[in-house]
Amino acid sequence: MKTSVLALVIVVVGVIGVALFLVLPRQGATIPTEEAKIPTEAATIPTINIGATEYSFTIPETVPGGLVKLNFVNNGQEDHHAQMLRLNGGVTFEQFQRTFEEAMQAVPVEGDAAFFRIEEIAALAGGPPPTSPGNANEVIQNLEPGNYVLLCFLEDPEGIPHMAKGMIGQFIVTPGPAVMPSPPGAQATVELGDFAFVNVPDFAAGKTILQVTNSGSQPHEMIVLRLKGISADQLFEILSAPPPPPGEAPPPGPPPFEGPLPVESAGGIQAFMPGETAWTTLDLSQGEYVIVCFISSPLHDNAPHLTLGMFHAFTIN
């Protein structure tokens, strides 16, 4: 998704600015300039730039709380994403780092379940979705103040998750402005439920600001993938195959497919908590797509949500 919604936001902010200008009482030249400026500034959602490459993030040390637009640019050679986590109150970056390293060491023995210990000290807090090299994605989120980390779970060609190669970022969210900017105007909405994508709109080609609400009781995500020479049924079969036991390589051939999955990252938003709403800009063209939630459910033997119903195929003509 190379293009941005900046132009639209400028238009929206402009419209709000004009509306406020029309609605606010005018007192001629007696209004001090500072006061007159406040409504326009409060209506702007600040943009935070996040960069990704092999294997690190760039992000400002501090980010203002409240509604922010996260503009994620992949400057690398591999796909990257930025799953954000908000550390529980009192948890330091050092404590997170220690827990994270212990979890990574436990993966060969415990498998993906080792990551649940990270969730004991942090909450999944959304973030930009998988993004292919040279491309960008935008999400708008309401950030609570606190200590945050970014993780890239995507794997290198050897199957090692990027976060194990140092792809961890950190930032602090400071208290938000007294007057919140207005939420972005969405053209479509979708809900993430237990365990289904609910009220999925008819996606159209071109740009759509999609409002995404987690109406379930578990964290969920919405990852959009474009299919390249594979059917949705075939992809489902591959993704829902049980993973090999921890520490074991996948069984040798005959493969359904070898090498990287024949899919392309097409936007979405990383996992966030129940009751929260966020926005993501989709820019889709003609083709076959699926929406997937890869989060696993501790209540269902760690089965990925995609096997419980969070796998939705659609076509754009």
CB 95, min distance to Cu ion, A: 27
CB 111, min distance to Cu ion, A: 18
Residue number with CB closer to Cu ion (135 or 280) = 280
Residue number with CB closer to Cu ion (52 or 293) = 293
The secondary structure of the chain, three-state, reads CCCCCHHHHHHHHHHHHHHHHHHCCCCHHHCCHHHHHHHHHHCCCCEEEEEEECCEEECCCEEECEEEEEEEEECCCCCECCEEEEECCCCCHHHHHHHHHHHHHHHHHHHHHHHHHHHHCEEEECCCCCECCCCEEEEEEEECCEEEEEECCCECCCCCEHHHHCCEEEEEEECCCCCCCCCCCCCEEEEEECCEEECCCCCCCEEEEEEEEECCCCCEEEEEEEECCCCHHHHHHHHHCCCCCCCCCCCCCCCCCCCCCCEEEEEEEEEECCCCEEEEEEEECCEEEEEECCCEEHHHCCEEHHHHCCEEEEEEC
Residue number with CB closer to Cu ion (69 or 220) = 220
CB 305, min distance to Cu ion, A: 3
CB 211, min distance to Cu ion, A: 17
Residue number with CB closer to Cu ion (164 or 313) = 313
CB 244, min distance to Cu ion, A: 23
Residue number with CB closer to Cu ion (44 or 214) = 214
Q: Out of 69, 162, 295, 304, which residue is the one contacting Cu ion (CB under 5 A)?
A: 295
| 293 is a contact residue toward Cu ion (CB under 5 A) | yes
Residue number with CB closer to Cu ion (124 or 136) = 124
Using N-to-C axis directions, what is the helix angle for 33-42 and 6-23, rounded to 10°? 130
**Which has the closest alpha carbon to 149: 222, 190, 92?**
92
Q: Candidates 83-91, 200-208, 232-240, 301-309 — which segment interacts with Cu ion by CB under 5 A?
A: 301-309
Binding mask 208-237 for Cu ion (x = CB under 5 A): ------------x-----------------
Q: Out of 69, 81, 226, 305, which residue is the one contacting Cu ion (CB under 5 A)?
A: 305
Residue number with CB closer to Cu ion (131 or 218) = 218
CB 309, min distance to Cu ion, A: 9
Cα gap 56→51, rounded to integer Å: 8
Q: Candidates 69-77, 132-140, 276-284, 286-294 — which segment interacts with Cu ion by CB under 5 A?
A: 286-294
Q: Candidates 50-58, 111-119, 164-172, 303-311 — which segment interacts with Cu ion by CB under 5 A?
A: 303-311
CB 220, min distance to Cu ion, A: 3
Binding mask 173-212 for Cu ion (x = CB under 5 A): ----------------------------------------
β-strands 168-174, 188-193 pairing: unpaired
CB 28, min distance to Cu ion, A: 56
Cα gap 278→208, rounded to integer Å: 14
Q: Candidates 164-172, 205-213, 258-266, 300-308 — which segment interacts with Cu ion by CB under 5 A?
A: 300-308
Number of residues that make up the chain: 317
Judged by the rule CB under 5 A, the positions of this chain that interact with Cu ion are 220, 293, 295, 305, 310
